[in-house]
Amino acid sequence: MSYATLEDLISRAGPDEIRQVADRDRDGVPDPEVVAAALAGADNVIDGYVAAKYALPLAAVPPQINTWAVSIARYRLHRNGAPDYVEQDYKDAIAALKDVGRGLIALPVASGAVAPSPTGNTVMASHPAQVFTPDRLRGW
């Protein structure tokens, strides 16, 4: 399930902008594979941040996630450099996703969708036996 659709992109940016950045074969229609790649890339970025606090896949797409997915996909579609306002939307989305990962922003998801937090502060390690001990170094 994608967090955003072509219709979401068109609703936010307008049909002219999306056609300009996603019509690589110049037939007047946004190329579905170009749009799908941008949306999949946005989904991957979002999943990377959200997975720190929430179990994936999310049962429903919160409105914030949809907005961030549109901002990220729109930025990715501008392969020759995005306008400042598109770049700022992208940066704002990434900053918000970082806050989600840190737990500063809570998503409105079902209560069972929160990833379990680690219990205790125990650190476990495994290492080989010590080679240089005081007994072995005696006499050197």
Considering its fold, how many domains does the chain have in total? 1
Cis peptide before 57 (omega within 30 of 0): yes
Task: Give residue 67's domain range.
Answer: 6-115
Residue 130 lies in a domain: no
Residue 55 lies in a domain: yes
Residue 111 lies in a domain: yes
Q: Do residues 28 and 15 lie in contact, with contact meaning Cβ atoms separated by under 8 Å?
A: no
Q: Do residues 66 and 9 lie in contact, with contact meaning Cβ atoms separated by under 8 Å?
A: no
In tens digits, the chain (140 residues) has pLDDT values of: 799 999 999 999 999 999 999 999 999 999 999 999 999 999 999 999 999 999 998 888 999 999 999 999 999 999 999 999 999 999 999 999 999 999 999 999 865 555 545 556 676 777 787 788 888 788 77
Q: Tell me phi and psi for residue 121, to 5 degrees.
A: -120, 35
pTM: 0.78
Task: Quickly tell me which residue has 């056609």 as its tokens.
Answer: 19
Residue 133 lies in a domain: no
Residue 93 lies in a domain: yes
